[in-house]
Amino acid sequence: MIFTRFLSLLWRHSPRKTALIFATTTLAGLTEGIGLLLLVPLLASLQSQSADSGGMAARVGQMVQQFGVPNTTKSIVMIFVGLVALRAIIDYLRSVVSQRIQLELMDDLRSQTFAALLGAQWKWLLGLRKSDHTSLLLNDIARISQGLSVSIQFLVNIVRLAIYLLVAAALSVPMTAVALLVGVIAALLLRKQHSRAGQLGRRLNNAHKVMQQIIDEGLGGIKLTKILGNEHRHRQVMEQIMQNLRDQRLAFTRVNARAGALFQVIIALFLAGFLIIGLDYLTLQMESLLILVLILARAAPMFRKLQSDINILLHAEPALDSLSQTLSQADQHQDTPDQGAEAPLALNHTIRLKNISFSYGHEGRYALRDITLDIPANKTTAIKGASGSGKSTLADMIMGLLTPDTGEITIDGQELTSANRRAWRQSIAYVPQDVFLFHDSIRNNLLWARMDADDDALEQALRKAAAEFVFDLPDGLDTVVGDGGIRLSGGERQRIALARAMLNAPKLLILDEATSALDLENELRIRDSIQTLHGDLTMIIIGHRLPTLENADQIITVDAGTATVG
């Protein structure tokens, strides 16, 4: 059953709270059932009928007396009111507990997915579309949450229906059997609608992903869009996607509403038939018949609700599939497990690459092939080569972000394995060509590398990175850099990123085309400041341009995935 899939999520998250929901649901159902039964003698007494000893009213009256309560209208009314109040309290408790567990579970799923993605291997992450995961984290998990809420409601309604059935059976077994039969037939008739709801759910999943992608790409490439004057095209695509989403949602509403309309007619016909059979053929007592009709009138919309809840659950199920699929794939591609506070790996002698080959997964296409080289510690190594030759892949390999298909990397003779890869990364600072800055102040962007750095340390790092321009900004370190650092020039962004890298006192500093956006003057200043670090740490500088390379102790030339030292 589909709703058990959602409930088992709740159970795994908190068995205690799920059990509490189940207990309160059953209790609320029981109080309602007893309340309904109490109506029988109440109605009988209101009709001034003497409850004959064989009638239901008398039996319920005797039950009440067994509990030491006088069988009078007044006391039955009091119990009835008490039961309603008790049920209200139980319902309140259940609502709070189920809302709490839903919110907790949603947060848990989000952080679990987020952590799984953050902890996944770089190679696997490279093959993913970011917008799919944004859509999963935002839309799909919201739909799963709706599924959870509906499945709790589903459970509540099933328990209530079961108790209604018991009360109805106590009043008349044949009438209950007829009602059950009609229920089964109605459920069979509505089955086709369920498979349609499942299909629509899957389509909605895809429509959400496409919408997220269009938004991400449209806003990410907004500058190019403006230059090309393509705003209308993006708007059109967005409108088409929204139309598609609207159609999917309307189609789902239509499926549900059609079933609802059909159901109402069936129930009206059934109620009429029920009354006639009860009165003319089974000669039921009026009070029993009234309660039966009351139960039926309550059960029918609840039964209908169960059907539409199944539709909603089937509609939400693809989101659950998508989540489990991502989680299991991310699990299979988990990076080195976080071992807590690990000491950074020492680097005093050599980083050695021995017969390293690596492919991004394309058959026979090697990004690196049979590379053997040494990178001496506390020296500067330059890596040069044509675009696409494999320089960045080599840097990712040295940082332990990519794992070689064959060959091994050793740090001071110690092989880089999944056990020490994370510790190794702690010793490294990396400045890429496209630096990443948060939409935050320069201070916070720097502190991201070392939380405990004081203003003196920040200032020193900025000076080392030739980023003194920060001191001339009106807000200085508190200047907010804008989305991705958009309020700074490309060169300023790179210098902030370099300062951030310096702040962490790395053992290995990798600059991947990190000075490419700088003018010659600033590039020379950075080269000079890097020069002052010479001997204190190991540096790998990837680049094409002379100034950054000319002071290197060794130059590695990469060509179509092979490397020569010279």
Residue closer to ligand ATP by CB (options 126, 297) is 126
- The answer to whether the beta carbons of residues 503 and 461 sit under 8 Å apart is yes
How far from chain centre, in Å, is Cα 301?
Answer: 33
Strands 554-559 and 406-411: unpaired
Residue closer to ligand ATP by CB (options 24, 389) is 389
Q: For residue 89, which phi and psi values (nearest 5 degrees)? A: -65, -45
How far from chain centre, in Å, is Cα 80?
Answer: 45
Closest CA to 46 of 78, 79, 66, 76: 76
Quote the CA–CA distance of 87 and 32 in Å, as a whole number: 7
- The answer to whether the beta carbons of residues 13 and 101 sit under 8 Å apart is yes
Cβ 392 to ligand ATP, closest distance in Å? 3
Among 94, 203, 352, 391, binds ligand ATP (CB under 6 A): 391
**548 binds ligand ATP per the rule CB under 6 A:** no
| Radius of gyration of the CA atoms of the chain, in A | 35
Residue closer to ligand ATP by CB (options 387, 532) is 387
Choose the binding region for ligand ATP from 53-61, 347-355, 383-391, 418-426 (rule: CB under 6 A): 383-391
Among 92, 114, 360, 471, binds ligand ATP (CB under 6 A): 360
Quote the CA–CA distance of 371 and 392 in Å, as a whole number: 14
**Maximal C-alpha separation, the chain:** 112
Quote the CA–CA distance of 405 and 423 in Å, as a whole number: 21
Cβ 546 to ligand ATP, closest distance in Å? 16
Total binding residues toward ligand ATP, as defined by CB under 6 A: 11
**560 binds ligand ATP per the rule CB under 6 A:** no
Cβ 98 to ligand ATP, closest distance in Å? 44
Residue closer to ligand ATP by CB (options 54, 127) is 127
**363 binds ligand ATP per the rule CB under 6 A:** no
Choose the binding region for ligand ATP from 189-197, 206-214, 322-330, 381-389 (rule: CB under 6 A): 381-389
- Mask of contacts with ligand ATP, 78-117, x by CB under 6 A? ----------------------------------------
Among 393, 403, 445, 548, binds ligand ATP (CB under 6 A): 393
Quote the CA–CA distance of 33 and 171 in Å, as a whole number: 12
**387 binds ligand ATP per the rule CB under 6 A:** yes
Cβ 484 to ligand ATP, closest distance in Å? 19
Residue closer to ligand ATP by CB (options 5, 545) is 545
Q: CB-side exposure of 362: number of CA atoms within 13 Å?
A: 5
**385 binds ligand ATP per the rule CB under 6 A:** yes
Cβ 212 to ligand ATP, closest distance in Å? 21
**126 binds ligand ATP per the rule CB under 6 A:** yes
Among 82, 220, 388, 535, binds ligand ATP (CB under 6 A): 388
Residue closer to ligand ATP by CB (options 22, 366) is 366
**434 binds ligand ATP per the rule CB under 6 A:** no
**390 binds ligand ATP per the rule CB under 6 A:** yes
Burial class (CB in 10 A: 0-12, 13-18, 19+), 539: buried
For every residue of 176-223, DSSP letters joined together read HHHHHHHHHHHHHHTHHHHHHHHHHHHHHHHHHHHHHHHHHHHHHTHH
Closest CA to 95 of 32, 28, 9: 28
Burial class (CB in 10 A: 0-12, 13-18, 19+), 68: exposed
- Please state the three-class secondary structure of 114-154 as a single string: HHHHHCECHHHHHCCCHHHHHHHHHHHHHHHHHHHHHHHHH
Quote the CA–CA distance of 378 and 358 in Å, as a whole number: 27
Cβ 490 to ligand ATP, closest distance in Å? 16
Quote the CA–CA distance of 345 and 421 in Å, as a whole number: 9
Residue closer to ligand ATP by CB (options 128, 294) is 128
How far from chain centre, in Å, is Cα 242?
Answer: 22
Among 45, 392, 445, 522, binds ligand ATP (CB under 6 A): 392
Residue closer to ligand ATP by CB (options 66, 387) is 387
Choose the binding region for ligand ATP from 98-106, 264-272, 319-327, 380-388 (rule: CB under 6 A): 380-388
How far from chain centre, in Å, is Cα 529?
Answer: 44
Separation in Å, CA 544 to CA 283, 514, 547, 555, 558: 98, 11, 9, 11, 11
Cβ 362 to ligand ATP, closest distance in Å? 7
Choose the binding region for ligand ATP from 318-326, 369-377, 382-390, 448-456 (rule: CB under 6 A): 382-390
**18 binds ligand ATP per the rule CB under 6 A:** no
Cβ 245 to ligand ATP, closest distance in Å? 31
Cβ 431 to ligand ATP, closest distance in Å? 14
List of residues contacting ligand ATP (CB under 6 A): 126, 360, 367, 385, 387-393
